């Protein structure tokens, strides 16, 4: 059968270079993941935390569910948002995705 399929022989280890190059390659991969995935996500999370901490009564907000309203009350973990004349909902502050410019809610 040797004349149809050639035998595959393993080559010997290259010595110290292979372990060093493996460590360098792993460090480069970690660096790429850090700067492309981890760091931007941390910045985004920090900005959202600051947004949630700075919420005040009277701010006009957009929730992650797409509701637009004005904050009427704020507690440690919750905010009461008026979404129409007689309708107020109590939501978690972390579900607020952005504060919109003043006057946006009144125009809607």
Q: Give pLDDT, residue 106.
A: 75
Q: Kindly state whether residue 9 falls inside one of the protein's structural domains.
A: no
Q: Give pLDDT, residue 56.
A: 94
Q: Kindly state whether residue 45 falls inside one of the protein's structural domains.
A: no
CATH number of the domain at 66, please: 2.30.30.60
Looking at residues 85-95, what average pLDDT do you find? 94
* Enclosing domain of residue 82: 54-107
Q: 38-80: per-residue pLDDT in tens?
A: 999 999 999 999 999 999 999 999 999 999 999 999 999 999 9
Mean pLDDT of the chain: 87
Q: Kindly state whether residue 14 falls inside one of the protein's structural domains.
A: no
Q: 21-43: per-residue pLDDT in tens?
A: 889 999 999 999 999 999 999 99
Sheet of 87-92: strand order equals: 87-92, 78-84, 68-74, 60-63, 96-99
Q: How many distinct structural domains can be found in the chain?
A: 1
> Cβ neighbours of residue 74 under 8 Å, at least 6 residues apart?
55, 56, 57, 80, 93
């Amino acid at each position: 059968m040797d004349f149809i399929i050639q035998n595959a022989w393993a080559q010997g280890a290259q010595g110290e270079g292979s372990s060093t190059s493996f460590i360098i390659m792993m460090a480069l991969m970690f660096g790429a993941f850090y700067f492309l995935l981890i760091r931007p996500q941390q910045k985004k999370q920090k900005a959202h935390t600051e947004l949630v901490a700075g919420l005040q009564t009277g701010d006009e907000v957009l929730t992650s569910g797409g509701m637009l309203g004005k904050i009427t009350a704020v507690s440690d973990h919750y905010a009461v948002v008026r979404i129409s004349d007689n309708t107020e909902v109590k939501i978690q502050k972390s579900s607020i995705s952005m504060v919109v410019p003043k006057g946006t809610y009144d125009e809607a």
